[in-house]
Chains A and B, each alone.
Chain A
Amino acid sequence: KNEVEQSPQNLTAQEGEFITINCSYSVGISALHWLQQHPGGGIVSLFMLSSGKKKHGRLIATINIQEKHSSLHITASHPRDSAVYICAALFGSARQLTFGSGTQLTVLP
């Protein structure tokens, strides 16, 4: 069964801390997406990756294909980073993403 698990479900950090959110999946994938959802509902695509590492500003996404695991890192966290972070996997030849249940991140000033 195609499954995506995220951890932790909830994460509270102090401003400036380095943050890691984890995503593991059950079987081989062709792509993994990271998305951000702010209060009020709007969802923004952050990264799409199938191997290695991508970086955008203070955000870094990595993927380890052998271990079926991806991480999203936030350096020098800020209260504006508070949001729900969602990973989603495209399994094999599927044409639709399977989503994790999300990680609620709260960064305190």
Chain B
Amino acid sequence: DVKVTQSSRYLVKRTGEKVFLECVQDMDHENMFWYRQDPGLGLRLIYFSYDVKMKEKGDIPEGYSVSREKKERFSLILESASTNQTSMYLCASSLPPVSNQPQHFGDGTRLSIL
């Protein structure tokens, strides 16, 4: 079974802090994704990576950056956390292509910015 592990289930940080969310997958997947999920808005893609050191912006990249130095690990960085970044963050991985490969999700990190 594919396992996607997010480093924290719950996280509380303060405005202005630099926040790191880590995601690790164990199935050698090329694709990895970071989403945020907010009530009424569904999942929105922040960034995705299709290979080591490769990344593409999603729909809402502002205020975020990512790092993929190793195939199994994809990190999301909030450069200077703000209260509007309070949300549920979900990491996913898949084989290519996106059209006919399922995405495997982590359990999510509920991030609160105070």
B-contacting residues of A (Cβ < 8 Å)? Answer: 4, 30-31, 33, 35, 40-45, 48, 50, 86, 88, 90, 95-97, 99-102
Residue of A nearest to B48 (CB): A96
Give the total of B residues in contact with A, Cβ under 8 Å: 27
Chain A's interface: helix, strand, loop or mixed, by majority? strand
The CA of A44 and the CA of B104, in the complex, are separated in Å by 7
Q: With contacts A96-B58, A100-B42, A101-B41 known, is A45 near B99, CB below 8 A?
A: no
**B 84-99 contacts with A by CB, 8 A:** 88, 90, 92, 97-99
Chain A residues with CB under 8 A of B42: 4, 86, 99-102
- Closest beta carbon of chain B to A41's beta carbon, Å: 4
Q: List 12 A-B contacts (CB under 8 A).
A: A4-B42, A35-B103, A41-B108, A41-B110, A42-B107, A42-B108, A45-B102, A90-B98, A95-B50, A96-B33, A96-B45, A102-B42
A-contacting residues of B (Cβ < 8 Å)? Answer: 33, 40-45, 48, 50, 56, 58-59, 88, 90, 92, 97-105, 107-108, 110
The CA of A43 and the CA of B43, in the complex, are separated in Å by 11
Are A43 and B90 interface neighbours, CB within 8 A? Answer: yes
Per a CB cutoff under 8 Å, which of A31, A42, A99, A100 touches B99?
A31
- Closest beta carbon of chain A to B2's beta carbon, Å: 10
Per a CB cutoff under 8 Å, which of B44, B58, B90 touches A41?
B90
Chain A residues with CB under 8 A of B107: 40-42
Are B56 and A95 interface neighbours, CB within 8 A? Answer: yes
- Closest beta carbon of chain B to A28's beta carbon, Å: 13
The CA of A101 and the CA of B56, in the complex, are separated in Å by 23
Residue of A nearest to B109 (CB): A41
- Closest beta carbon of chain A to B86's beta carbon, Å: 15
- Closest beta carbon of chain B to A48's beta carbon, Å: 6
Chain B residues with CB under 8 A of A45: 102-104
Q: With contacts A44-B105, A96-B58 known, is A30 near B99, CB below 8 A?
A: yes
Chain A residues with CB under 8 A of B41: 101
The CA of A90 and the CA of B48, in the complex, are separated in Å by 15
